[in-house]
Amino acid sequence: MTASLSRRAAVALPWLLAVAVFVVALLLTDVGPAAVARYAAYFAVGVVLPGTLVHRAFRGSGTLGLGAATGLLVQLVGWALAAATGLQQVLWCWPLLVILVFVAVPPLRRHWRRPPGPGLPVLWHWAICGVLVLTVGWAASSWVLVPVPPADASYYPDLLYHLALVHEMTRSMPFEVPQLAGDTLRYHYLSDADMAAASMITGLPAELVLTRLWMVPIAATAALVIDAIAREVSGRWWAGPLAAAVALIGAPLTLGAELVAYGNSPLVFASPSQTYAVPLLGLLTLIAVDLVRGGRLGPVWFLVPVLALACAGAKSSALPPLVAGVALCLVGKRRSWAVLGFLVALAVPMYLGTRLFAGGGAGTLGVQALSVLRWMPPYAETLGVNDGVVAGGLLPPGLQGATGPAWAFAVAVIVWWLLMESPRWLGVVGLSRRRDPAYWLLSGMILAGLGATWLLWHPSASQLYFFLCALPAGAILTTWLLADQVRRWWVPAAGLAAGAVWAVAAPDVFTPVGRTSWHDWLWAMATPALRALIPVALGLVLVLVLRRSVRSLTVAVLAALLGASVAGGMETQARTLWTAAFGSASPLPYTRTVFREEMSAALWVNANTPPTDVIATNVHCMPMNRYKPCDARSFWVTALTGRRTLVESWAYSDATVAANGTDGLKYVLQPAPDPAKFDLNQKVFTTPTPADLHTLRTTYGVKWLVADLRAGKVSPQLATLTKLRHTEGPVTIYEL
């Protein structure tokens, strides 16, 4: 009994510490204890508990991490039913209804008990909780730059765009583009739906859920799912936490260079959709692993298409890598009707996802080999300096008709990128001698992610998301390859430590910013790699002297790569947090800053108007007073009022993205897609007439005007033609 209690205490302690770190981080970044407690209760009782029960009912067993991932799916089902029927007010009953079913139905009651089986070592609990603490650090390094509204802040536009969509998801179907009332919304918005459900159930403000409370639980769930896959395929308990750390915290290698390879973590604070897709895709991947290894899915078959559709609605780039992995298994190592049926169960929801969710930027995805080079400084500042904003052929313009030396330089950039990203794909090298179909599945995923990244074109490099979605599979593969080679524990431990030390202590090699010489860039890329070869060579000599096997050197090198990746990510977090705590804050760019008074005025609209009201505003651009050309990504009005606007910012609308390249301008600088509506909107603020105001009210349903003096002229006549309701700083609210 004493030993049992001692083990329970040893197991509980790391989890309590991880939770304490999360809570303290929230309290230090403007979140009150009542909000923390309310959200914690919601996530435990409303997501993890019903999800765990459902997961056990379908799969027979599963950890709380897999239960949390399943709970996200259960939550989506409840939200969809509420949005379709207009019953959002009783959405809080949904998780309780699921729990009640498992209480009332006798055969389901057994799922309240944890299935019997050997527990994981105490060291696993400490290791995985260490990864969870690092996910808190990842989020906190963004929190210090993203204050909770209202505040003087310069937010990344996509974050505010998602906040506007969160409010849209609290309304009933069909959904509209919040910034262009009346336009049908086609976007992968299920992450926003999850946040909307959390806000509606807890009663907490949507902006607090998005900027603070939501990210860490989603990231933690992703870590636990990746851990479960890695332990399942490798059979080693320590492979799970290591794979999760490499996948989520790890960064591309730098090896002492300032130059960082493009493509970081699949956790992206400014892209909630990408972050949200990771645990859902991970859960679906784990089911695929079971199947290709010969397992029988049983009732899980009913779960697969629903989960696949959720992945498609979370991120349009999530399902294609998994489809490719299953197809590779079917062609290579696991030919069966069950695998073929699974492939169909993925392909059909993927197609439906293109009809239901894929709008905006997804419509501009095209084919152009090596186009991702445009986003890498060595190419962008040399060969690609005049590539422009359109595709312009099957190769980037800078490589069309290029000479031999130019192609050699481009190949060097590609090889450098692959080397820097090697911890996330190197496990593929074991494919040729593998008979395990799961290895083929994961290899197909990461190869498809790499292939899509290097073969497709997008005006904002969104093809990279294929790689980010597949990145956890690559990290699991590399960790699995390491686990298979380990014979003595101290060899990988020494390698991890050596890689971590190198990542932090290696001398800097400065990037040749502002230069266009190939030689400068080649030196900046090659020097860190050459330096890294020195310890590898020393290790080889040591192996020969000590007469150890080459296997030991392989283990040490693999471990060093993984250690350097994780340490690099940790160093970035620490540097950001240290600068925020002790460094001097950089002045906010005045022209792109939204001030506290403006945010407070927008929040007043949110608190004092019905959710279905439509507003008009003169805020459209970044900077606010720049109209020619207008960078139409100023989404703070819809984000903070929570209301649809007649015309706010249109950069991400389907018509605008499709116009990319017109007149030589990128899509974010294109004019409003409906010039007549935009002109009417502007006239109401600059030269209002009773007739125009009447048209606004009767034709377009506008009930409120949000006028910001920083965005341009506002006529004093508005105060006589409408009802002035609220003024704060440069913002005045009028009611029609």
Q: Considering Cα of 282, then 285, then 287, then 293, what sign does the dihedral take? A: negative
Helix intervals (H) in 652-702: 654-658, 675-686, 690-700
Residue 446 sits at the vertex; the CA angle it makes with 444 and 451, to the nearest 5 degrees, is: 90
Overall average pLDDT of the 520-536 stretch: 76
- Count of positions (residues) in the chain: 736
Top pLDDT among 209 and 119 is at 209
Instruction: Tally Cβ neighbours within 10 Å of residue 115.
Output: 11
Backbone angles phi, psi at 703, to 5 degrees: -120, -15
In this predicted structure, the answer to whether residue 350 has a pLDDT above a threshold of 90 is: yes
Burial of residue 489, with CB atoms counted within 10 A of its CB: 0-12 exposed, 13-18 middle, 19 or more buried: exposed
In this predicted structure, the answer to whether residue 242 has a pLDDT above a threshold of 80 is: yes
- pLDDT bracket for residue 686 (50, 70, 90): very high
- pLDDT bracket for residue 330 (50, 70, 90): confident
Name the 3-class secondary structure at 735: strand
> 262 near 303, Cβ under 8 Å?
no
- Contacts of range 675-678, beta carbons closer than 8 Å, 24 or more positions apart: 677/646, 677/647, 678/647
Overall average pLDDT of the 459-471 stretch: 94
In tens, the pLDDT along 689-730 reads: 999 999 999 999 999 999 999 999 999 999 999 999 999 999
In this predicted structure, the answer to whether residue 218 has a pLDDT above a threshold of 80 is: yes
CA distance 533 to 90: 61
In tens, the pLDDT along 123-139 reads: 999 999 999 999 999 99
In this predicted structure, the answer to whether residue 257 has a pLDDT above a threshold of 80 is: no
- Whole-number Cα distances in Å, 200 to 205, 303, 544: 9, 26, 64
pLDDT of 363: 63
In tens, the pLDDT along 4-58 reads: 777 788 889 999 999 999 999 999 999 999 999 999 999 999 999 999 999 999 9
- Whole-number Cα distances in Å, 100 to 44, 58, 107, 200, 395: 16, 17, 13, 21, 58
- Whole-number Cα distances in Å, 512 to 176, 381, 516: 46, 10, 8
In tens, the pLDDT along 622-657 reads: 988 887 899 999 999 999 999 999 999 999 999 999
pTM of the model: 0.94
- How many percent of the chain have pLDDT more than 70? 94
What would the 3-class secondary structure string for 697-712 be? Answer: HHHHCEEEEEEEHHHC
In tens, the pLDDT along 55-71 reads: 999 998 878 899 999 99
> 150 near 596, Cβ under 8 Å?
yes
Joined tokens for residue 583: 């460094």
CA distance 189 to 196: 10
Mean pLDDT over the full length of the chain: 90
- Whole-number Cα distances in Å, 702 to 528, 589, 612, 647: 59, 32, 10, 11
> 308 near 319, Cβ under 8 Å?
yes
In this predicted structure, the answer to whether residue 83 has a pLDDT above a threshold of 70 is: yes
Overall average pLDDT of the 678-694 stretch: 95
Placement of tokens 């502002």 in the chain: 514
- How many percent of the chain have pLDDT more than 90? 69
Backbone angles phi, psi at 206, to 5 degrees: -60, -35
CA distance 670 to 662: 8
- Whole-number Cα distances in Å, 471 to 252, 275, 276, 481, 674: 11, 12, 14, 15, 40
